[in-house]
Structures are given as C-alpha cells and as structure tokens.
Structure 1
Amino acid sequence: MAADARNRLTGGVTDDVGDDGTDRVIDRMADGVREREPDGVRDGPVDGLPQGPSGGVRGRPARGAADRAAWAAAPAAVALADAPGGREVPRPLTAHACWYPSADPSGERIAFVCDRGGVPQLWTGPAYGAGAEGPRLLDAGPDPVTEAAWSPDGRWIAYTVAPGGGELTRVLCVRPDGTGRHIVAGAEPGSSAYLGCWAPDGSAVAVTVALPPGGPDGPPAEDRPGGRDLLAAHLVDPDGVRSPVLLAAERGAATLRVCDVSRDGRLALVRRGPRGRREAVVVRTADRSAAAELRVADGDPWIGRFAPDGRTVWLRSDHGREFAALLALRLDAAGAATGLSVAAQRAECDLELLAFTGDGRSAALAWNVRGASELRLVDLAGSVPAADGGDAGRAVGLEHEVVTRIAPAGAAGAVLALAGSQRRPGVWWLPGGGAPVRTGWSSRDEDAVPPGRPPVRPVALRPVARDGLALGGWYYRAAGPDGGRPAPCVVHLHGGPEDQERPVFSPLYHELLGRGLDVFAPDVRGSSGYGRSFTDADLGAGRFAALDDVADCVAHAVLAGLADPARIAVMGHSYGGYLTMASLVWHPELFRTGVAVCGMSDFATFFAGTEPWIAESAAHKYGHPERDRDLLRSLSPMSRVDALRVPLLAVHGEHDTNVPPGESEQFVRAAREHGLPAELLVLRDEGHEFRRADNRRRFRRSAADWLERHLR
C-alpha cells in the first residue's frame, strides 16, 4: 500500500493536503531528486497533541481533510487473551515451510512464519543449534500470519494477520513468551492495517491504516467510488502509554509504508506510489513535510535504511537506471538531498533485497541473476563508497537458488529465508564472517516431498517474441515412458504482472508433473528481473503484445520438441488468471483447456469492485478506468468471450477483495451460456492468496484433475 498522487483516479499531480483542504503540487528538481521546504506548518510543540515515542517526533496540527481524518481515526489498541503458545503443534506437517524471519537484538532467537500446523502462524526458535526448547508457537489462532518483526529492544514481536484469510489485515503485538497479545491497528470494522518498521529504540512500531468508508471528517461512503480513500501511517506505542503519532496521510493512495526512522527520530523513510512508480520519501517527523524524494524499484517493500548518523539514506533504487542498484542519497541536517551516488551495482542484474547489520557497518545484498539469487556482504565503512560502485563485497555461498528475505541478527550477523527447486522454504542463520547454517526447525531437503518422486529441477528457456523481444522462463519435464517425445504441457502464467518465475519448489507444479504433465512457466513482457524497459513494455496498449507473448512462448516450446501442440493448457493466478482468460479468447486455437485463478475478466467491474488503493496502483499498469475506458474494454476477456472454444475451470477465494470473486463468476456464467463446460471452485476462508493447507491441497488436486482429464 502506498500513495503516489501522480496517478490519482480523480486526476491531477498532487502530494499533500493544504490548509484549505486542497491538494498541493510537487515541485521537481532537474536531476530527479526532489526536495520541498515546510509550507505553512507551525514549529514547536502544540498543546493537546502527543509527544512522540521516539526522540524528536511530535504530533502536529491537522492541515486538511486527510490529516483531520487520520488524527481522528488513529489506531486504538485492543487487548486479546494470551495465545496458547509456547508448545509444539501435535503431529506437525513434515514438509513444512518457514519464512519471513526476524531476529531478536542478540541474534540468538528468531521469530518466523511457519505452516507446520496447517496455517501460517507465528513461531520462535533458536538461531543455531537444536536449542533447549526447540521451536515455540506464539499464536495458535486460526488467522494466517503474513509478516513478523522483533522489536529492537527485544520486548515485543509485531506481526500481521489476515482475519478469515481475507485481504483486510491487522497488526498485533505479543511478548516473546506469548503473553500480552493485543491488536495494535486494524481492529476498527472495515479498516485494514499493515506493518511498518520499529523505532530504533523499540519504543514504537509504525503501522499504516486504511480507513473505512465514511470515516471521521472524510467524504460520505457514497461519494467514494472504492469505499476507502485514505491511508494514514502512525507510530504506535506497543505498551499503550503514549498516544499514536501521525507520520503521513494521503488520499487516493496506492501504498504507504514506513521503512525506517532515523536514530534521532527527526526523519522517517516512507515508501509510496503505485506499481512501476514507487518513491522513497524522506519525511521530517516534526511537521510531516517531504524533505527529499527519489524513485525506487518495485518488488520488496523494504527499500532502504538511514545510516547511523542520519546523513545518508541507503536505497534499493532504479532511479535513472535499467536495473536496481544500491544508491547512497546524502542528506543535509534538515533531511534535504545534497547528492546521490552508486554504492553497489551489478551489470544486467537487479538488486532485489537488502538488509543492514545491527551496527550499521555492513549490508547484505541479494542480486537477481537471471532468476536465481547471488548474495554479497558489503562493508559500508560509515561513509559513501565511490561512485562507480562496482561488483564489491564478499560472495556468500547458498545451498539453494533464491533468497526471499534477509534480516539482521545481532551486531554483525543475519538470517536468510531461502527457497529452491529441491526444497521447501526455510531459514538459515548467517553468522558474521561465516557461512549460512540451516536452522534446526526448518524442514530438511529430503522432506520436501514424499519418497519416490523427487522434485524436478527446471531448465531455462529463452523464447523470442514476434517483435524480437527476448523473453524468459523455466521448463519442467515430467518423468514418464515417453522419454523425449513431445508431452502434454501446462503453460503457467505468474501474477503481478511484475512478478517473475523463479526456480523454486512449487507443490502445484509437483502435482502436475506427477500426473505426467509438463509445466512451462514463462516470463512475458511486464515481468521483473529483465530491466525497467521490459517491465514497462506491457503498459497500456502494450498489453496486446503481452498476449501475443503467450502464444509465442507456446510456439517456442512446440518447436523445441518439448510440448505436444495438440495437448496444451493455460493456467495462472491473479494477473496470470487474467492472462489465462485473455489467452483463451485471443488464441483459442492453441489450448485444450484453461484454469483461471483469481483473475480479472472485465476491467470495468474489477476497478469498481477492488480496494481503492489497489485500483490506484492498477491504473498505472492497465489504464485509467475513465480516461482509458475504451482500451480497458478491448483488453477485457469478457469483451471477446464469444471466441471461447474450450472448457474452463475458475478458482477463487471467497474473501478476495483484491480481485473480487465476481470476476470469475461472470466469466464462468458466460462460458456456460455459450454451451461450454465451465466450473467455479470457491475456497472458503481464503482471500487472494490461498494460505490454509487443506485449501491448498484441494486447489492443487482439483486443478490437476481438471487438466489431466482434458489433456491426457
């Protein structure tokens, strides 16, 4: 979630709300790094407003409708009963996954998300060795956990849960022993809350709240096309002693996440903007004014961190570049930009993840190298490196192909979440100067799948589109008696569109391969990992070329002798679900069937039904629902449903408010009206992502049954 006022659905280029309730225009600097001095904001403490929980952070008077609404609807804590944690789940899943690690200040214990009990839950475990206690379940509640962050003072663990498996989330805090559990933000009916960073001293945690319709001082619900139009970021005291402190508030927002707060509390680093137009904003906490702004890369929301002295902010950015690098943005005492240099870069590779050691002296950088990860440790030495950056740092050997998260552990160590084609996701401890060591509570490689059918290691394919653009992807070959003969193939299309196919173990792919079906997972234009121009190549009318890319990828697999042209299916989730429906009506001659999962079938109904901040972000990718109405209609699968010729299975989570279930319902209904076999599988207690083990199994088996029936 973030807000980029340059792409408001209401139009206009704006950044903030003025004293008169109107929006103010952003000033731009010639080199792309922008600053703005405080405008009409009073300095000094204000009677009746709270002192911030971090030094120098104070409340300020509301400057307009957005600020007034944000102040009036600041998150309120709600106490909960202590969770029955501190114990092992009986009969845990052997092939479980662990991810999203966060270490305590000493680096000796790790909080993480794990599905060993059948649903993603909050656990802790020792960073190294078996430990006297082993892993401990901290919250045994039924709601899936998505993120976790241990406080710098070690007293609290903040985490995000998705009630009912839906898209509206809450932020909770719990003590490391499982006591004191309470809702920090998101308890208000219809609201949603997202986790930000901790204040450096652990006295406050940043949260972003999406306010419900008709919130305080906001326009009535009937005047808000999407139902919500305000995001507000606060610093919240987990002990509930101090009042929340407002850091930022924006109307018509797409995302708004607080990524760091300087050690003296004067500055906050905020990520905002829709997909493809993310920005890092250095905010003066005293008056919430933007001191400097710089474009940053899509992907992981944790874009950077302040140096210990607050005079440099390290950023994962593709500002003025094809591929993201580590940039050093130098700041003056007021937080305004004074210079920009490259600290680390790799040729033809994106900087994908970064984390900084607890002492701030070094950084761990994960580079995306043609879909796999390379990890390097870089010594920051407390100063800005030379402008050429280069391929500096110590390489760290990895047992598996992809790093999914890096977090500091102690003064000089780190913890890594790794995934690969031969294993389930797990967590590794990286001691300072050492090699990664798998934590004892992460599943073993040999437990990734039941014995007898090992995971398939994919091979890279490089199709070429009809206009000459080089594409990418991975091909998984099913074992079977046919040997090297062309096989039935499922073309699986990822979501995003900015996601990227990675060589990681997929239980869905494993299920399909076990049925004798090959899987080809291509990266069509719009995917990440191939440079900014490739990611932006599908914007607007460029989406027609992305639809042709699907057909060109099919042709590549057929001409390579891998796929049987008479037995090809198409399948995908989210944007991949849209591409599935669109491919079936644009290229009906290519496919025997399709499985569309949580996909958009009509952009008009999608924009009307999705969350407003999602609509704000999607408008940049697909087109504006008003200004580009004709384009969106022509790109919608429903506009060409008469061309559908093959059976279809649609799958959707009942609580999906990202892509509402009506998108699948109307496409299935239209297919049936044309006399075609079409079914809709609705998964209970799920949203846009399927998180519960029983639902994931049902989805995999239902999809595989459908595809096997129509391809074998």
Structure 2
Amino acid sequence: MPDTADADYGVARFLAIEHVDSPTLTPEGRLLFLADTSGTPQVWTADEPGAWPTRLTPHEERVSALAASPADESFVYAMDRGSDERDQLIRYDLATGIERPLTDDPESKHAWGAWGPDGDRIAYTANREADGRFDVFVQEVGGPDARAGDPERVFEGPGGWLNVAAFGPEGRRLVLTKAHSSYDEDLSVLDLDSGDTRTLSDDSEATYSHLHFDGEGGLICVTNRDSDTAYVGRVSLDSGAVTPVAGDDEGSGEPGTEAWDVDALAFDRDAGRLAYAVNEGGYSSLHAGTLAGDADGPELRPVETPAVDGIVQGLTFGPDAERLAYTHTSPTEPYGVRTVAFGGGDGGVAADGTGGETNWTPVGRNGLPDTAFHAPKTVHYETFDDREIPAYWTLPPGVDPADPDEQVPAIVDIHGGPEHQRRPWFYPTKQYFLNRGYAVLEPNVRGSSGYGKAYSHLDDVENRMDSVADVAAGVEWLHGHPAVDDDRIVAYGRSYGGFMVLAAITEYPDLWAAAVDFVGIADFTTFLENTGEWRRSHREAEYGSLSDDYEFLQSISPLSHIDEVRCPLFVQHGANDPRVPVGEAKQVADAVRERGVPVETLIFEDEGHHTTSRENLIEEFEAIADFLDEHV
C-alpha cells in the first residue's frame, strides 16, 4: 500500500472533488440534484446510476435551493449574487430548457417554501416590504410560454424570520413556522381564503420541521415537543396535540446516553410510506415503514431498509413512493446522491435484487489513492464540570502514536452555530491538512445540537464562556496524547466557530501556536447592531440582547480582551456577508496588528458568509496553508 505521509497533492486537487446533494424527483421519476462540478453549485440530472450527468443551469452564481414540481416536468431553484443570500426564484421547464425568473428584487431575500399541489403556484417568504420582516407570498408560476404571475402577499409576518413549511393538499392552506430561537418555534396554519391563522404549537419550547399533511387531519413532522430529543410525530390540525409516531425516546440526549435525534424525514401521503434518519452520535441509521392506524393512534409498520455507512440527509420520495433518494456522505466518501427502491410483499427493500441502495452519482476523487483519505475515531474528553465532551479525532497518515520522536501539530476545528453539530462528513480541506501532517480534533462542545435540548442550552447567555472552557479542555486532552506536539496547536473555526477561535486565543492565550478565524464574531455588540435586521432577535435569544445585556456582551467579546492575543492570526471574510458583517474581521485584524502580533487577512469582495467559488476556495486554503507553514 503506498504511503502518502509525505505526498503533497495540493489543495486544488482536494477541492475539485465534487459535492453532490439536494436530490429531488419529478413526477416522471427524473432525478435532479445540485453539483459543484463547474465550480459553483448548479442543477444537474443523470438518467441512470453512474451515467454521465447533464448540467441544466448555466450560471456562475451558486444555486442554493431546488424543488421539482409535483405536477409536471419543471422545477424551481433559488440563486443569489456574490453569496449575499438575497435569493431570487427561477422556474425551469425541462421539456424546453426555458428558465423564467419568478422574482426580480435583488435587494430582498426570497426563502423557498413549497409547491402548490397542482404545480401552478408556489409559496415562499420574503422581506420585500421591510428588511426585518418576512411576509408570505403566493405566486402563479406560469408555463413555458406564459408569464409568471406577480407575487401576492397573503400574510404579513410578525417580524423576523418566517418560513412556509408545507402547502395543503387542497391548495387552500399553508403551514408556517416562526422561529424565536433555534429551539423555540411557533407552528401555525394559514387559511388562504380568509387570511386567518391558527396556532398549533403550545407555550412549550419546541421545534417543527419536515412537515407534511397526512390526509387524516394531521401533520407528520420531526419535533421535540415535550422531549429532550427530536422524534417523528403527528400534530393534530384540530387540537394541536402531538402523538409520537417513531423515534421517540424519554431519555436525555446528553453525550454518553443512547437517546438520539431524528433529523431527516420523508413522507408520501398517498402511499402512506414514511422514511426517517436518526443521528446516532453523528452517524445515521435509516428507517422506513407504512403509516397505519387512525388519527388518534398512528402506527408505523416498519419495513426493511439498507444499513447506512455514514450520514444521510435530504430524504425525498419519487412517484408512488417506490424510490427514496437522499444525500450520502462519510468521512472518506464524498457527498453524492443514493436511492433505495422499495418492493416485495411487505413494501420493504426487494429481496430479488431489484431494490436496495444504489449509488446514483458516484463521485470520483481525482485520482487520489484511498490512503489519502482518513476516518476519525469518536472520543470523549473530560471538561471542567466533569462532563464528557464528544469529539472526532484523526491522526495524519503514517504516524505511530507510540513513537515519542514522531510528534505532529494539531488543528482544533470548532464548528459554527452554536446550535450545530460537527459530524463525520466528508471535508476535502480536512483531508488536505491531514495529508500535510496535521492531526485534527473536532469537538462538539456544550451548546452543540445533536445531543438534546438540555445540552444545547448549556452555553446560553451567561454561560457562553463555559463552551470556550470546553475547547481548552480539548487542548489539555491533546497535551496528554503522545503523538501531539504541545507547542504546535492551532485554533480554527468558522462563523460562531470563528468567535470561539478569537475567544480561545484571548481567554487561553498560551495554548496556541496560531489561529485561523473564518467570518467570526469579534464583538457581540457590533455584530448584533449590524447583522441582518430579520435575524437579530433570533440571535439575541442565544447570546443576550443589546438592550438588557450590553455590558455582559462586551465583557465576553474577544475584542475587549485583544491585549491577551499572543499567537499569529489569519482572518478570512466575505464583503457581502449578511450574517456576520465584514466589519468584524476588519476591527479584530486592526486591533491585533496594532499590538505587533502577525496578522494576515483575506477578504473576498464577491463572497459572503461562505466562500462558494472554487477559485476563491483554492486561493483561501493555499494562503492558510502557507500561513500555517510559516508559524506552526
């Protein structure tokens, strides 16, 4: 087996590995998906498993959402400009290849919602009339030869983020979700004839996602109402009461327990078929069945499903629910689309070989050998209050942990969110740094999702810095690992993870050899003052409010403690970032530079919160690699 420990493949080689996701199936069973083959995500299709795919959308800007019509061979997709997240909606006719804009308001954000049951209308939310308020719009989409109708505002939102979650099967109702925080949502139904809304959620903290009308007076969804972890439930349209259907667990999701979140769901009302995925410590298990019983006691009769080696997301059924498509990835397997065909007498995977999992879009690895890709181990380390923090730990190739003379540098890669979870997805840049000789620790510190609501709340407001202490505890764990060079440890993170990087190098300055901050928060007060108006209240629920917690927010802001920074700092940002404005990068870089600490900045004028073009990504990570080579 070839040894890649000293191989230098270059970051462009890893970044050119295609990312394929977001499958959707047309009424004729045609599979559509997003792929970044051309350098940015565009809509593609493939007629057969492994067939040469056909690109459908011709743009250089990224496509961020994709949904096939339920009635004809067309789809709607969303696209922004310069990664500014102000998505516009476009309809594409598969028969003619004609695409027609549905919206043309580049100053507004249009959030995809749902198709009407007859395929003649769509519903979505947009902040067209007030930046801080999302309203609900319904719009005729027209045909290939007909002009689309104008957006019709059917509901004025209460302010902040609002989402269309489902269109009723009769075309007269919409399901809406209004997020107050990441774990607190209102669920309501809008009557399009009267304009009235009826609230289905209660006063308890809960979330509702993947919503589907079941045809029996209820909504099938993923929720965590009255539970620490999320499950498949049925919400009564009459009373709002929730009945568990599958995946429910009365236990806590705290790390170390066996209670897990359901995090993906597909449901076909006509067939009564349901499929869902459970997040078991970051890895997925796939389940399916047929929904039986009456409205008072829905019961899922399970059917056979294939074992999953990795993570599945974006479950969606095709015509008659005979085929399930989803995105699949694993630590060493790039993102691609797979399908499962259902058959046999019990409706499960066919035993005659006609069913089972099919890798529809096998993604190559640009000639890189298997030995260039490395899977992590799941580890747990103890933190200051005796909690066990889960993390993924990966050593670079060729390292013998028992050899004290073979110590390597380590990157502590902290996820964003904070209500987010690092999972063992395929990360081409992680594989790149592993092949450059860096070990990687990816902790899910308190505040992370995937381990229940209680764990996610452990870092709220006044407990913010406890999560930073969890990062420091991870470094102490690294100090006890014989393969790690204690003097060459790097803090590395994006978005909220960027804040965690800046907080870690100001609160624990002696632990770090260097730091890499992507689009991070330097000062919570300036961040909240300048972030998109529509998301401010949502973020204040997590961090604290400008009106009530101003002094506290200043006290935990890295910029208030910038004199403590000792290590060289790399700062990356996008000028079009609507979430964490680019001023956060500029002020922290200037402050560190004034103190004589080495700082390197990279700000893209044509990017936002995420770097989306491959050309920019290559420049970004080549610069980071050079920075780390110099300072670590």
- If the length of structure 2 is used for normalisation, what is the TM-score? 0.88
Within 1, Cα distance between the matches of 2:483 and 2:387? 22
Q: Does the residue aligned with 1:542 lie in a helix, a strand or coil? A: helix
RMSD after superposition: 2.4
Q: Does the residue aligned with 1:179 lie in a helix, a strand or coil? A: coil
Q: 1:359 touches 1:411 (CA, 8 Å); kept in 2?
A: yes
Residue 204 in structure 1 maps to residue 121 in structure 2 = yes
User: Which has more strand, going by share of residues?
Assistant: 2
Q: Does the residue aligned with 1:676 lie in a helix, a strand or coil? A: coil
Within 1, Cα distance between the matches of 2:363 and 2:83? 24
Write the deviation string for residues 166-202 of structure 1: whole angstroms up to 9, x where unpaired: 22211111111463312223x2241111111111121
Write the deviation string for residues 543-600 of structure 1: whole angstroms up to 9, x where unpaired: 1111111101111222243532221110000000010011000000111110000001
Segment drifting more, 234-243 vs 464-473: 234-243
Residue 95 in structure 1 maps to residue 95 in structure 2 = no
Q: 1:441 offset after TM fit, Å?
A: 3.7
Write the deviation string for residues 320-339 of structure 1: whole angstroms up to 9, x where unpaired: 1100011111223xxx53x3
Within 2, Cα distance between the matches of 1:351 and 1:482? 38
Q: 1:297 offset after TM fit, Å?
A: 9.0
Q: Does the residue aligned with 1:457 lie in a helix, a strand or coil? A: coil
Residue 184 in structure 1 maps to residue 184 in structure 2 = no
Write the deviation string for residues 377-413 of structure 1: whole angstroms up to 9, x where unpaired: 02112634858x79x6235224531112111111122
Q: 1:457 offset after TM fit, Å?
A: 0.7
The letter for the 2-side match of 1:364 is A
Residue 415 in structure 1 maps to residue 322 in structure 2 = no
Segment drifting more, 241-250 vs 341-350: 241-250
Tell me the number of residue pairs that the alignment of Structure 1 and Structure 2 aligns.
591
Within 2, Cα distance between the matches of 1:482 and 1:616? 49
Residue of structure 1 aligned with 2:314, choices 402, 405, 408: 405
Residue of structure 2 aligned with 1:425, choices 328, 335, 339: 335
Residue 467 in structure 1 maps to residue 385 in structure 2 = yes
Within 2, Cα distance between the matches of 1:532 and 1:360? 33
Q: 1:602 offset after TM fit, Å?
A: 0.6
Q: 1:210 offset after TM fit, Å?
A: 1.4
Q: 1:525 touches 1:546 (CA, 8 Å); kept in 2?
A: yes
Change beyond 3 A, Cα 1:440–1:353: closer
Q: 1:677 offset after TM fit, Å?
A: 0.3
Residue of structure 2 aligned with 1:612, choices 521, 533, 538: 533
Aligned to 1:396: 305
Residue 291 in structure 1 maps to residue 211 in structure 2 = no
Within 2, Cα distance between the matches of 1:570 and 1:440? 38
Change beyond 3 A, Cα 1:385–1:464: farther
Residue 272 in structure 1 maps to residue 178 in structure 2 = yes
Change beyond 3 A, Cα 1:664–1:375: same
The letter for the 2-side match of 1:276 is Y
Within 2, Cα distance between the matches of 1:245 and 1:305? 23
Residue 376 in structure 1 maps to residue 296 in structure 2 = no
Percent identity of equivalent pairs: 26
Residue of structure 2 aligned with 1:195, choices 88, 109, 112: 112
Task: Name stretches of at least 5 consecutive residues in structure 2 with no aligned partner.
Answer: 1-14, 250-258, 343-347, 350-354
Within 1, Cα distance between the matches of 2:431 and 2:545? 39
Q: 1:409 touches 1:415 (CA, 8 Å); kept in 2?
A: yes
Aligned to 1:162: 80
Within 2, Cα distance between the matches of 1:378 and 1:261? 23
Task: Name stretches of at least 5 consecutive residues in structure 1 with no aligned partner.
Answer: 1-92, 219-227
The letter for the 1-side match of 2:246 is A
Within 1, Cα distance between the matches of 2:275 and 2:154? 28
Within 1, Cα distance between the matches of 2:122 and 2:35? 23
How do 1:568-607 residues align onto structure 2 when only pairs under 5 Å count? 568-607=489-528
Change beyond 3 A, Cα 1:516–1:318: same
Q: Does the residue aligned with 1:557 lie in a helix, a strand or coil? A: helix
Q: 1:144 touches 1:165 (CA, 8 Å); kept in 2?
A: yes
Aligned to 2:247: 345
Within 2, Cα distance between the matches of 1:517 and 1:129? 36
The letter for the 2-side match of 1:367 is V
Q: 1:571 touches 1:577 (CA, 8 Å); kept in 2?
A: yes
Q: Does the residue aligned with 1:490 lie in a helix, a strand or coil? A: strand
Within 1, Cα distance between the matches of 2:50 and 2:335? 19
Residue 505 in structure 1 maps to residue 426 in structure 2 = yes
Residue of structure 2 aligned with 1:327, choices 230, 233, 244: 233
Change beyond 3 A, Cα 1:537–1:582: same
Within 1, Cα distance between the matches of 2:309 and 2:39? 24
The letter for the 2-side match of 1:623 is G
How do 1:618-633 residues align onto structure 2 when only pairs under 5 Å count? 618-633=539-554
Change beyond 3 A, Cα 1:440–1:406: closer
Q: 2:136 touches 2:157 (CA, 8 Å); kept in 1?
A: no
Within 2, Cα distance between the matches of 1:298 and 1:508? 35
The letter for the 1-side match of 2:19 is A
Within 1, Cα distance between the matches of 2:463 and 2:394? 28
Aligned to 1:305: 212
Q: 2:337 touches 2:360 (CA, 8 Å); kept in 1?
A: no
Q: 1:687 offset after TM fit, Å?
A: 1.1
